[in-house]
Amino acid sequence: MQKITTEFIKTFIISHNIAFVATQPKLCVPIISRMCQKMSHGIKFDEIKVCDNLIIDGHHRYLSALIMDFELGQVLSNSTSATKKTAWNLVEFDEEDWDTQAKIAYLNKLDAKYNKLEIEFVNQILLDE
């Protein structure tokens, strides 16, 4: 799998037509990388929430799925007065991990349960990075 870096993500964004518009101005590269790694092993994720052409919830999932050419469902949601469009080329990508090791372990357990997999398998996916 291609190493997921800020530069890789920015190049991907420039070179691809992205259907949904971002409403989150900053995303976390390590989270995207973990999701891509899991998707490369067939791990499925919850649907993203959209309103018209806006992503309301699921920016990391959506971008990861685009990078991995992975099918991801969508459910309708609502926007609020606080919802602000952000062009993908203006989204900032943080190299610092927003998740603690405890949160990563928790998310791995959720992913294992959602996908009916052994936790050891999900944990190993991230160790193979």
d(CA 98, CA 28): 7
* SS3 (DSSP) at 118: coil
The 10 Å Cβ neighbour count of residue 4 is 24
Whether residue 127 has pLDDT greater than 90 = no
- Whole-number pLDDT of residue 129: 64
Average pLDDT score over residue span 31-35 = 98
> Which segments of the chain are extended strands (E)?
26-28, 48-51, 54-57, 74-76, 92-94
Alpha helices in 23-98 (DSSP H): 29-40, 59-68
Using one digit for the tens of pLDDT, what is the confidence trace for 62-115?
999 999 999 999 999 999 999 999 999 999 999 999 999 999 999 999 999 999
d(CA 47, CA 58): 8
Model confidence, pTM: 0.95
Using one digit for the tens of pLDDT, what is the confidence trace for 40-65?
999 999 999 999 999 999 999 999 99
